[in-house]
Amino acid sequence: MQRAIALAARGLGTTSPNPVVGAVVLDAAGEVVGEGFHAYAGGPHAEVERSPKPAPVPWWDCVVTLEPCNHTGRTGPCVQALLAAGVARVVVAVRDPNPTAAGGVAALTEAGVEVETGLLAEAAERVNEAC
């Protein structure tokens, strides 16, 4: 999560009115196979910026600073992109306070993905205080 927070900070000043978000994708051995950050408003979200190719069976872990979105705005829902990539577990620092974008944790859980929340939540919230 520390790496995801550092990546999120790279979007400071360019994502408004959206928050900054960082994501790291790990393989079954815990090795980084993809990472990204939300670089600008209207651009790819962190979870899909540099995601790996879909796995034949679910086994990716995604560590993300903010709950993956579950709606279509200027981009598609990150939840669907994570499911299409074969994610097995998502670790979320902070749930999305925006009611329009929230719901990713519930959607992932309903799809059978293991979800953990709260890891380094205070640090992830602090990176967005500057937005």
CA dist 31 and 61 (Å) reads 10
Catalytic residue, candidates 31, 35, 47, 129: 47
Burial 3-31 (b: 16+ CB within 10 A, else e): ebbbbbeebeeebeebbbbbbbbbeeeee
CA distance to 3, 80, 104, per residue, from 87 (Å) = 19, 10, 13
d(CA 99, CA 19): 14
Q: What is the total residue count of the chain?
A: 131
Question: In the annotation, is 110 catalytic?
Answer: no
Which residues are designated catalytic?
A: 47
